[in-house]
Structure 1
């Protein structure tokens, strides 16, 4: 168990270090590999933000509906289904955006990764809005 804890801590440390390294390198880009590194760092940051926003939404359902666990579970199931459908939409939309670029070109994956990061941040803002005021969830 101690090894597992060390491994997890080391993994998080490396993730944060690589993201910080990429952020510093993104201020002045002089070669193409730096751009690719920056896009990857943006994607990781966007994914982390999206996951945090989703977890906050799920926690909101659990806490606000604690007196009715069945209702909480129902809302959480809706959110889970919505998120899965949205992920599929995001991924296929980003593939669609890259159809004009040769799939073997570096720019193809760069465009897809940029699209995924952009859409993930947009979704995180959307989910945060639901968590903040709940207006999107209670309207009929």
Structure 2
């Protein structure tokens, strides 16, 4: 009997998710496993937005310095170097932030994802602000 109720509950949840495409893994979080799924989603969204904002920045460089390719290429090289350095700093800072959680544990993964999401969001705002018209 429990199996039938569990199957009905899972079906109803799946039907609700299908009926609501805006549903997020962060909706109705009740346990650590769901919290992990939410943190993965938030991390992936933040990293994707950062990548998009960085690509948009490179396009702004090419647009604003299009007449001077050497200057554009120099700035793009500097931006890529800065982005790579920032990623190393982010990873090091997040390693400190999640310490002493055991790598591979749910708590570690949740904290790591939360740190990556938060810092990526912060960096994304900064990257988006570069070379914007005032």
TM-score (norm 2): 0.78
How far is the alpha carbon of 1:104 from its aligned partner? Answer: 4.5
Choose 1 or 2 for highest CA Rg: 2
Is it true that 1:78 corresponds to 2:78 in the alignment? yes
User: Does the 8 Å contact 2:32/2:106 carry over to 1?
Assistant: no
User: Does the 8 Å contact 2:36/2:110 carry over to 1?
Assistant: yes
Distance 1:31 1:21 in 2: 21
Distance 2:33 2:105 in 1: 14
Structure 2, gaps ≥5 residues long: 1-17
Q: Which residue of 2 aligns with 1:28?
A: 28
Distance 1:104 1:88 in 2: 20
Q: Which residue of 2 aligns with 1:68?
A: 68
Structure 1, gaps ≥5 residues long: 1-16, 135-140
User: Does the 8 Å contact 1:53/1:124 carry over to 2?
Assistant: yes
Q: Which residue of 1 aligns with 2:40?
A: 40
User: Does the 8 Å contact 1:46/1:121 carry over to 2?
Assistant: yes
1:60-85 CA-to-partner distances (Å, cap 9, x unmatched) read: 11111111101000000000000000
How far is the alpha carbon of 1:31 from its aligned partner? Answer: 2.4
**Secondary structure class of the residue paired with 1:100:** coil
Q: Which has the higher contact order (CA 8 A, sep 6+)?
A: 2
Question: Greater helix percent: which structure?
Answer: 1
Q: Which residue of 2 aligns with 1:98?
A: 98
Alignment of 1:49-68 (within 5 A): 49-68=49-68
